[in-house]
Amino acid sequence: MDKQILLIEDEPNIIEAISFILKRDGWQVSTHANGETALDAVRRVAPDVLVLDVMLPGRSGYEILQDLRADPETASIPVLMLTARGQKKDRETADRLGATRFMTKPFSNAEVLSALREITGAG
């Protein structure tokens, strides 16, 4: 497959779990844990898809998503947003800002893989 994925998440257990299942499925995985420098990481890695947590240190995933969508270089990157808060307003905010998919924690490995395959056309 060799698709490059960037996981922006600050919880070590989630980073480890998602990285493991994605690598096992053939993805090239890069990780980043700081909201303030997340845009730099996206530009440096140039991922095929981004997994973005909503609650990050420094800046929220919503702020990062808004900046990604405003920049022509990053506007078309598929983004799977993850959050522990799954209220309707969170989903609406993600949709309004241009998230490709929205998933609440906890989630299953199969759900993550399925969503990523779907939004990247890899499955």
Number of domains in the chain: 1
- If you average pLDDT over residues 14-38, what whole number do you get? 96
Q: Which two tokens stand for residue 65?
A: 């998503």
Q: Which domain holds residue 30?
A: 4-120
CATH number, domain of 60, equals 3.40.50.2300
Q: What is the pLDDT of residue 97?
A: 97
Confidence grade of residue 2 (pLDDT, cut at 50, 70, 90): confident
Cβ partners under 8 Å of residue 109, min gap 6? 17, 21
In terms of residues, how long is the chain? 123
Spatial contact of 82 and 9, defined as CB atoms under 8 Å apart: yes
Interval 78-117: pLDDT, tens: 999 998 877 889 999 999 999 999 999 888 989 999 999 9
Spatial contact of 110 and 89, defined as CB atoms under 8 Å apart: no
DSSP code at position 94: H
Q: Which two tokens stand for residue 79?
A: 């983004």
Measure CA 28 to chain center.
14
Interval 37-89: pLDDT, tens: 999 999 999 999 999 999 999 999 999 999 999 999 999 999 999 988 778 89
Distance CA 115, CA 123 (A): 10
